[in-house]
Amino acid sequence: MNPQVVAVSSSAAHGFSKQPQDAIRLVQGEGVEGDAHRGVMVQHLYLVRRDPTQPNLCQVHLFSAEMLDELAARGFAVQAGELGENILTRGLDLLTLPLGTLLQIGAAVLQVTGLRTPCSRIDTFRAGLQAQLWGERDAQGKRTRRAGIMSVVLQAGAVRPGDAITVTLPPEPHQPLPPV
């Protein structure tokens, strides 16, 4: 299957879920036009409290439809946008992409910056869901993250459901995604 966009979502207010849209417009260096997390500097409230001068590495959140399928099979029916993602994908293993991967969607280009950490607000949305978005522990005892990936906008453009996603890997050696 060729990677593609299943749904796009945004929200002007800081909150947990985002509302599905017919299209979103990505703004270079800032994120999703009209979205509360758009900005050059950090916009996620917990990151702003820590240090508001840090660059916004979480401009666009991507999540896989395959993970929604897995969650549904475990009794957690979740719809597009409800986990706060801007772009829901299918046919692309987001969690295994290396740091710096480029994703071209229409005219827009995103650069992958890291893994989203499954925050405690997920359980406020749906009890027990946070544990589903944490994976097994690795050899160092760290838990893997399964809550999608974050990216920054390198090139502006509109993104719509049905758009193809072209992946360009960075030069080797590839580095795994850190949490952001």
Average pLDDT over residues 42-46: 88
70-79 pLDDT, tens digit each: 999 999 999 9
pLDDT at 1 exceeding the cut of 80: no
Show the DSSP H helices in 8-106 as ranges. Answer: 45-50, 65-73
Residue 148 has pLDDT above 90, yes or no: yes
Specify the pLDDT at position 143.
Answer: 86
Average pLDDT, the chain: 95
CATH number for the domain running over 4-168: 2.40.33.20
For residue range 149-166, what is the model confidence (pLDDT) as tens digits? 999 999 999 999 999 999
Structural tokens at position 68? 């929604």
CB atoms within 10 A of CB 3: 18
